[in-house]
Chain A
Amino acid sequence: MITIDDLTVSFGAVQALRSVSFVAETAKITAVLGANGAGKTTLLRTISGLKEPRSGTIRMDERNLVHRRTEDIARLGIGHVPEGRGVIGEFTVEENLRLGAMMAKVNLQQGLSEQYEQFPVLGERRRQHAAKLSGGERQMLAMARALIAKPSVLLLDEPSLGLAPLVTAQLMHTIQSLCDTSDLTVILVEQNASSALRIAHHAVVLHVGKVVANDAASVVAADENLRQYYLGLVE
């Protein structure tokens, strides 16, 4: 469970997040929605310690995450799949996965075979350089690399960006089944609101750094105002 309380983050004079508070429950998918520049990516980067907040707290269960180093936060069991995927193109698929498994106390071979089972395409291409993969395959690799460490929290930043609708649907399905079969807490940042709302349990809508809605996903999906003004969803 991730509890964010009164979080304010700024770049110089510009406030990227203003007093943001919400809770991401265990074994649930929490979608964070909003337009470009709403502060979604900043939120995830702050949780991971890549950005220092000005004020407020971020807690994982009862532990405060603020002022910890990124690598220590990762070692606490938070997997962050960054925007643009962040797979290392110079590395092979398997090297990327080995790197992901590095600090987790899991059996490497077992972890690898689990991920190859989950994402068969990665198993087929394990010796290839990650730069040679397609966009969807890279997203799979980035997810697998985060999952191999058996995280308790998964932060996903725009996983559907640049993917074909069919691939996106498949991806969302994967995320949903992950959540159903384990105690994983997922924070899913998406611009593609409709597909995120389809799988999310809870939704938070950000607008220029402020929370404008924080409710069950079905409620948010049904709110005509939100759909029109903040999510760009028109029937």
Chain B
Amino acid sequence: MRLDRTRRRAPIAMVVAVVATVLSLVSAATTREGVALSIAFDLAIACVTTLSLPDLKSSHPVVSRAALTLLALDVAIFITFFLNSSTNFNLATGAAMSIVLLGLSFLTGASGQISLGNGAFMGVGAFAMAIWSNHHATTPIFLTLLIAVACGALVGLLLGLPATRLRGPYLAGMTLAFAVAFTFILSSFNSWTGGDSGLQLPTEATAPRWLDGFFHAGTSPLTTTTLYITDFSIIVAGVAFFFMANLFASRTGRAMRLIRDNDVAAELVGISLPRTRVAAFIVSSAYAALGGALLTLINNSVSPQTYSFALSVTILSLIVIGGIGTISGAVIGGIIYAFSTNAISWITTQTGLNPQGNFASQLNGIIFGGLLILTMLFAPLGIAGALRHLWSRIRSRT
């Protein structure tokens, strides 16, 4: 039955694909959005076709995850072509942040522990990126990102090794101390980190030449660099999410979830608790570093003030509100981060608060802190959990 339906769908898909290809050839000479539209359309068709092949889906979940990631990336990138520069910039920071959130979500989802220092781990990545680029300007971006990730993982190992051996709040407290210490660590290495003023990247990230035409701006208010950086960030986030989805589903991921739910039982079936916990913490630190490095790339600079304790707290709020322990929670948190500044200034103007006043400047903390408490008390799985609950209720009704 299922197979029949797919067979019937295949010719339709092919026709649509042909039409789309023709469209793209025609529109290639016209506008940038036209090209984007047709490519996005083609890709979407390909992904949907892949996803609807039942054989493939059941035998290779990795393939269907890849197709799903590609589809999401395709839609996201397509949208960026129609947004202005500042919205695109917000989206790019949101994508970088969602990577950090995903790391923290994984740590909690996998080991039941929590880190209050992921802002500092972001800073490790951000500064590693800037320092390396300033000394070796010719290294390809991908390699520099990987170096930043490695730095994050290394620091994670150093801190995680003692703390993850212990039950209880040791990891949380220790990462808090690290987050508080981080700005002092930066200023201890002034000659490397550029002191209070931070570091500038030697060159702006630009699209490789063969892709340049695709991002070319023409007269629109959207600059080529912004568009390229945004799409690049979204792609990096997509890859990061793809890896994480596979890790969640893998043997290691299952072992980690068992530890979270019942560590005594996990030990009985032969899972090494400390090793798995350390591994989860290293992954989360590495993801934070990747997000930080990406943020350096987006801002083209890095400043030590960004990586204060407040950032770590913001990260915690975002993932809790989005849905800690879930993958979609990281996406939701990233989107909230992208638009939170706008939303809060909107609230300020709507409520008629004095934007320079004490209250308006603290609105961020009051709202996020309050939401953090309320979410944990009344909906511990955040927005993602609430949506999932809603969805299962709708499905059970039909």
Direct contact of A and B (CB under 8 A): no
